[in-house]
């Protein structure tokens, strides 16, 4: 155990020094001891964390024939999932029962790309999609040491500590993996790629290093252009940045204060919290406007959809008004599995809200929405504006009674018939009155010869 703690100390030092990938090449030598240590800390706590699932009562939603247009894409048409971004997408520390200087990535519970177990116990976007297509490829599973690339990571190319400037490199690696995978039909399979990044850019805002909104946007634009030009049949699910200014609400313990002062030091400088808030709002604004301008809507088999559910997100509160820290990992910075599941739910529901009418916040405990039978497609910039399409979704936990549906139809029919009859009666009265002889006034002023 002494060697374990020595490794943790050296790992922390190496991270601070920046020699990350080289210093982590030999970490598998102590991985088993480290994993065993975590497993014995609190099995009860870990079991509680690993049971954040979702109820699913949606109908099948697969196109009769594979669609050729991304604007007619249903959930069951998706064959491949992938993700790029930072530690929120690697699910760093999401399942850690206690705080340690260096923790694991819990890839299998990542909201964007995790696929551990099943939806009933682990709420993620891929686990929802697997309800429509059990053979979907690309989701990551399990857990492991940061900066390693086990096969279980699959098409999750997010990197701990990444900033927007690293996205083009992640995109290139992902494309290489997609092309090399024997079970991926690059030309015909529909791919769902989630891009979520920005926390590290915000927290480095004091130094201005690649943190200006236009620089941030430029790297995202470059990444999207790579996908646009090289990945056919793809929809990029771009999640707006989570505003880091909310983190100080978790302060109070020595642990949280220490972590925040190290990983997001800007928050603790004069005016830092307000500066990060404003910068995050600018990130959100410039990216959303860029995506919804239609720049990436010039191909029928590719699009980018912006998801703004983090725009006005606040830390959930207990009944007494105190912050509910259960949505955050033990390091007070990353999302716990509960937080990851909340993100997945909000993101999924956003897929079935038209562009321009998407919610700007997520609500703790919200249910999964299902694509409606009238409009079963994932909303895009294009189909959200199409005339003649019926928009909407229905709640997965509400099953409409067929008798109630018939009653509604009967009511409508009776109402229409009644309205027509009323018009006929009024018309008959008017005609009858018009045929009666005009009464003349006593003084004869209205008599006509």
Residue numbers annotated as active site = 87, 201, 334
Task: For residues 378 and 73, give the distance between their C-alpha atoms in angstroms, rounded to a whole number.
Answer: 6
Task: For residues 440 and 425, give the distance between their C-alpha atoms in angstroms, rounded to a whole number.
Answer: 28
Chain centroid to Cα 132, Å, comes to 18
Token pair for 187: 């030309």
Three-class SS state of 20: helix
- Residue 133 DSSP code: -
Q: Do 248 and 317 meet the contact criterion of CB atoms below 8 Å apart?
A: no
Which has the closest alpha carbon to 344: 239, 241, 246, 243? 239
Q: Is 372 left (phi over 0), alpha (psi -120 to 50) or beta?
A: beta
Token pair for 159: 């990197």
Token pair for 75: 């959930």
Task: For residues 42 and 11, give the distance between their C-alpha atoms in angstroms, rounded to a whole number.
Answer: 23
Task: For residues 90 and 84, give the distance between their C-alpha atoms in angstroms, rounded to a whole number.
Answer: 9
Contacts 24+ apart (CB under 8 A), 264-267: 264/202, 264/203, 264/333, 265/203, 265/206, 266/202, 266/203, 266/204, 266/205, 266/206, 267/203
The DSSP bridge partners found for residue 85 are 196
Dihedral (CA of 282, 287, 290, 293) sign? negative
Q: Do 140 and 111 meet the contact criterion of CB atoms below 8 Å apart?
A: no
Chain centroid to Cα 419, Å, comes to 46
Helix then strand then coil, in percent of the chain rounded to 5, is: 45, 10, 45
Residues 6+ apart with CB under 8 A from 295: none
């Amino acid at each position: 155990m002494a060697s374990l703690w020595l490794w943790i100390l050296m790992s922390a030092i190496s991270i601070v020094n920046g020699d990350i990938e080289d210093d982590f090449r030999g970490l598998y030598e102590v991985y088993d001891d480290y994993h065993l240590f975590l497993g014995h800390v609190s099995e009860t706590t870990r079991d509680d964390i690993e049971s954040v699932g979702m109820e699913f009562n949606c109908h099948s939603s697969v196109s009769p024939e594979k669609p050729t247009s991304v604007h007619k894409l249903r959930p069951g048409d998706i064959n491949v999932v992938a993700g790029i971004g930072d530690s929120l997408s690697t699910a760093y520390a999401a399942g850690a029962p206690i705080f340690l200087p260096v923790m694991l990535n819990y890839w299998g519970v990542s909201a964007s790309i995790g696929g551990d177990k099943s939806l009933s116990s682990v709420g993620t976007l891929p686990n929802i999609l697997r309800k429509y297509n059990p053979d979907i490829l690309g989701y990551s599973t399990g857990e492991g040491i940061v900066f390693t690339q086990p096969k279980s990571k699959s098409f999750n190319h997010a990197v701990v500590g990444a900033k927007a400037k690293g996205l083009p490199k992640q995109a290139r690696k992902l494309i290489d993996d997609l092309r090399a995978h024997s079970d991926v039909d690059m030309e015909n399979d529909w791919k769902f790629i989630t891009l979520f990044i920005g926390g590290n850019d915000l927290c480095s805002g004091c130094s201005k290093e690649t943190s200006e909104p236009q620089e941030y946007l430029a790297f995202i634009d470059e990444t999207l252009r790579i996908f646009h030009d090289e990945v056919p049949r793809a929809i990029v699910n771009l999640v707006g940045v989570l505003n880091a200014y909310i983190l100080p609400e978790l302060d109070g313990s020595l642990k949280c204060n220490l972590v925040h002062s190290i990983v997001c030091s800007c928050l603790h400088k004069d005016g830092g919290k307000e500066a990060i808030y404003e910068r995050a709002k600018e990130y959100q604004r410039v990216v959303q406007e860029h995506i919804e301008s239609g720049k990436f809507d010039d191909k029928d088999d590719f699009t980018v959809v912006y998801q703004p559910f983090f725009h006005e997100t606040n830390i959930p509160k207990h009944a007494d008004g105190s912050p509910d820290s259960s949505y955050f990992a033990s390091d007070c910075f990353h999302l716990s599995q509960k937080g990851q599941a909340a993100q997945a739910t909000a993101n999924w529901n956003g897929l079935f809200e038209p562009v321009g009418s998407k919610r700007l916040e997520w609500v703790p405990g919200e249910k999964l929405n299902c694509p409606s039978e009238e409009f079963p497609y994932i909303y895009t910039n294009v189909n959200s504006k199409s005339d003649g399409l019926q928009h909407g979704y229905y709640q997965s936990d509400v099953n409409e009674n067929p008798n109630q549906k018939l009653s509604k139809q009967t009511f409508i029919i009776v109402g229409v018939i009644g309205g027509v009859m009323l018009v006929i009666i009024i018309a008959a009265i008017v005609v009858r009155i018009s045929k009666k002889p005009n009464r003349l006034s006593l003084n004869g002023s209205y008599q006509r010869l």
